[in-house]
A and B are shown apart, each in its own frame.
Chain A
Amino acid sequence: MKSRYVIIAAVLVMLAGIMFLAGCTDKTDKNPTREVIANTGLIYQWSDRYWGAFCATDGNPGFIGLWVYTPPGYNSAYPQSKRYPTLYLLAPFRGDERYYFEHGLATVADRLIAEGKIQPMIIVGIDGTSQLGGSFYVNSGRQGQYFTSLFQDTSMTMKWVPWRQSALTEHLYQQSVVSKIEDVFPTLRDRNSRGIGGVGMGGYGAFRGALETDLFSSVSAVNAPLDFDGSGNNGFISLFQEIFPSGTVWSTIGANNKTIYTVDTSLANPDRSLVVSAAAAFSPHELIIDSTWIKDRSDNTAVLYYHVGDTLETDRRGYLPDHLVHLPFDSTGTLDPTVWGRWLANSFDSLYNNATASQQNHFGDIKKLLISSGTSAEYHFGEQMSAFIATHRSDTTYTIETFKGTTQLTGTSDHFLYDLLEDILIFHSKNFQSPY
């Protein structure tokens, strides 16, 4: 009997031990980690001269800077059998080709590729700066042919007018940025493998590029000026009222019996310089300088004249003929309907309505991402985004996201771009379709 009790007791003890040992295992090897990514992409820092981007001060062609991210696995020393989709990111106002990289683009891309959340891709950061602050990525007689430089291979005749010299004429062939990238890097040369996006002004340029070319199958914009008058009386109008009140900011200088208003638009006043940049893009004063100084230009195609020797602030006569712009309001802050009408013609929905049927059709196929932070967006762009989103909310080709700030950090796109880049890259990656 005793031995039976002992056996029973031993069995019970063994059961207890087994129960304990069954649970006693280390499961931490299955824990997720976010180790430092072993495979990192490369960044090519590249500034090339694009003859189309004229800065129109010293007559020399300007340039558009590019930084190019290539994914892990890309090796420029060997012929590439693998080709990659390409995403073009246009910088916002005052942003250059480094903008997205300074906000962690390479880190985010490396991590998302390592985690399998995006396919390996080439990402091009594009400079958006101009002499007046930002180009809006449009062709402008005042700032340069930015749209052409980005998207259109072109040839042109350029006439030089050096100071006190005879005019010179040059004929140039210029490759667009997109062509250049596809020549240099192993990209998939197919519309379904190209995307374009941008923050702020860059978002406007991206949407415009997606509409007016047939190069892209996906487009994204964060806090972009896509609806210039917002819900009818805000957007840019709010910005005008805020930064150009009547009175002391204006000063006048006279030349040739003309009164020309000038205003401090240095980059210490980003809101003002943005408005002047936008005016240079959407309502430039089409004066061409030649040996007679002032000449009205009747055509706007292939012949551009420059005057060498002028500076941004002044010339020997004390005015700025190379940078005259029409502002859409007068010194009392009242909207000028003619000039404002030229702006509104460049608002995205106007562009769409005036686009060709073919452009409208392929834009309808494009997948679009809109990200907005509402009222905290810079330059009142949130008002424009809200209005644009309201108009397009029912369109299933749009994906709409919103974000807001934290108690420590206001909800501007600049402050949160590190996080937004994840959404942007994942969106474009999902929409890339390999032709193979």
Chain B
Amino acid sequence: MRRGTVILLGTIIAMSLAIPAMGGGMEIPGVGAKAKAMGGAWRAIANDWSAAYYNPAGLVYVTEDQFTVNEAITNFRYKYNPNVKYGNYTVGYFNGEITNRFAVLTNPSAGGYFRIPISGKTYHFGLAIFQPFDKNISWKLFQPLNNSQELPDKQIEHNFDAVAFNVTAAIELQPNKLSIGISTGVLRGDLIYGGFFLRPNPASTTAIYYDQIASRPNDLLTEWQRSDGKGWGFNLRAGLMYKATPKLTFGFSGAIPSQVTVKGDTYLMYYMPDLQEYHSRSDVSSSISAENYILSSGAVYAAHAQFKTKINLPGQIGGGVAYLVNDKLTLAGDLQYTLWSAFKGYEFQYTFASSAITLNNGINQWMTQNMSLPVDWKNTLRIGVGAEYSYSDIIKLRGGYAADQSPVKSNTQNPAFFDSGLSHSLNLGLGLVFANSITIDLSTEYVINGKTTDSGVTYLTSDGGTDNIADNMAGTYSGSAWESIAQITVRF
């Protein structure tokens, strides 16, 4: 039990964030340095702690109790060249190619494995903390045309982490032939979303001086908000592994959709167009309504609120194959289908204190409206192939390739959910064994994201389509990413 205690404590201590998303949607296509080095083609192998993610049934083929700690370092280099126009008109996006805010992200994860004999049968258990979903990106790409005050530096900030705290159990139904497994646990979601919305000017079209205060560039008002919250959900994965022959193994696994309800605090800022010179005209100052005066004051109003949003995370299903060519070389392949159409973005429901905004009835109503960031995603396929070569007893070399579809439909791209098309990743890895009980696995991955160009202004109907707020940002999207992972496994 000492080993189990060590494993349990180590898993709890290790921080939850695993390798960030490198491909479709917000999903982690690979958890674990060995799996990552083989392009994620691990479903039919899964013989380490990462079986909790890839295929719980693989846990039966872990040979020794062990504890693993992963550390991933990632740098995203995404590029966005805005071409946002309403009609023929620009609205304040910067001209030229913009790279996302520089950040070197570190994500540790951990897991352990131990066996327990019960009634003459050996049950295989694992504890794991890993991150099945993650997004971490921020941008600065906009300046309101009608207000000289700048938005906060992280104009768009999207940091979503879904961390699974899972218990995995597996059993052999037929020795060395057929095994099944299940991994389940809580899902902790942390969301920070900061972003701006361009909202139609609420000035009444019949109000005097409407033409003057609501003409371009004052027909759209900028609202910026930053929401920070957390919540819990549940996740469940199950798998099956079938060794057709001593050399050929098939693996099948899937995960059910999850939902995380996130609650927290929101800070909002409203940037009013600056028409103060216009106000100074005597005919205007005596005739303009209080509401329209506010809407052309050039002021920036701030408010706080509580927010709630439900995040629907997709289920997935996949199959893999592994072939032991000889005692040195293993080849593997994997195909996964993810139901990203279930993810609908974020619908922020605000609760304002009664004293939050006290400007004017009409303005109050406008400012306290719920905001949404909807997406219209499609289901995706991911394919991975990999190989492992045992150079010697203490050195293993690994390589892989993966292609991952983007769930984003055309003309719905948004830098907050950056995914610019079919991505290709090249993976290399190395495993080193020390003293027969410690293994260090390293992997590095280079991902090239597809280049895509969106145009037009899209109003998605998933948020009712009635708020007249554009849900996409047209322009050209492309990018790449680097990641390196170091994993240490201690076997008992």
Residue ranges of A at the interface with B (Cβ–Cβ < 8 Å): 5, 8-9, 12-13, 16-17, 19-20, 22-28, 30-36, 102-104, 403-409, 411, 414-419
Contacts and interface: CB of A to CB of B under 8 A. Distances in A.
Nearest to B103: A26
13 contacts: A5-B391, A9-B395, A13-B442, A22-B482, A31-B140, A32-B94, A32-B95, A34-B143, A405-B87, A408-B200, A408-B201, A418-B215, A419-B90
Contact of A403 (B87, B148, B150, B484): B87
4 A-B pairs closest in CB distance:
A32-B96, A26-B102, A23-B482, A16-B444
B278 interface: yes
Contacts of A27: 77, 99, 102
Given A36-B148, A407-B468, A418 B217 contact: yes
Nearest to B149: A36
Contact of A30 (B86, B88, B99): B99
Nearest to B100: A28
A417 B215 contact: yes
A268 to B, nearest CB: 11
Contact of B446 (A23, A28, A33): A23
Given A20-B482, A34-B95, A13 B430 contact: yes
Interface string B71-107: 0010101000000001111101011111111101000
A408 B430 CA distance: 58
B88 A419 contact: yes
A268 B439 CA distance: 85
Given A12-B430, A27-B99, A408 B219 contact: yes
A333 B77 CA distance: 68
B212 interface: yes
Nearest to B75: A24
Contacts of A418: 145, 215-217
B430 A28 contact: no
B258 interface: no
A122 B378 CA distance: 54
Interface string B169-202: 0000000000000000000000000000000110
A390 B332 CA distance: 67
Given A12-B430, A30-B99, A102 B395 contact: no
A417 B219 CA distance: 12
B89 A9 contact: no
Interface string B247-278: 00000000000000000000000000000011
B94 A31 contact: yes
Given A406-B86, A408-B468, A17 B484 contact: yes
Interface in B367-421: 391-392, 394-395, 397
B482 A24 contact: yes
A20 B89 contact: no
Contact of A32 (B98, B219, B442, B480): B98
B428 interface: yes
B211 interface: yes
B102 A404 contact: no
B214 interface: yes
B432 interface: yes
A409 B140 contact: no
A107 B223 CA distance: 22
Contacts of B395: 5, 8-9
A360 B30 CA distance: 74
B442 A102 contact: no
A16 to B, nearest CB: 4
Nearest to B144: A34
A34 B102 CA distance: 19
Given A102-B277, A102-B278, A414 B215 contact: yes
B406 to A, nearest CB: 21
Interface in B476-492: 480-484
B88 A403 contact: yes
A5 B394 contact: yes
A104 B146 CA distance: 9
Given A403-B87, A405-B87, 15 more contacts: A5-B394, A16-B444, A20-B75, A20-B444, A23-B446, A23-B481, A26-B102, A28-B100, A33-B140, A33-B143, A404-B87, A416-B215, A417-B215, A418-B216, A419-B216
Contact of A19 (B104, B140, B392, B446): B446
Given A24-B75, A32-B95, A9 B430 contact: yes
Given A20-B484, A33-B94, A419-B90, A9 B432 contact: yes
Contacts of A404: 87-88
Contacts of B97: 31-32
A87 to B, nearest CB: 20
Contacts of A5: 391-392, 394-395
B482 A19 contact: yes
B101 A28 contact: yes
Contacts of A34: 92, 94-95, 143
A16 B482 contact: no
Interface string B148-159: 101000000000
A58 B374 CA distance: 64
Given A20-B482, A28-B101, A104 B75 contact: no
B219 A16 contact: no
A270 to B, nearest CB: 11
B211 A414 contact: yes
B82 to A, nearest CB: 9
Contact of A409 (B216, B394, B432): B216
A16 B92 contact: no
A381 to B, nearest CB: 16
Contacts of B215: 103, 409, 414-418
B77 A23 contact: yes
A36 B432 CA distance: 55
Contacts of A24: 75, 104, 482
A28 B211 CA distance: 39
B217 A20 contact: no
Interface string B269-296: 0000000011000000000000000000
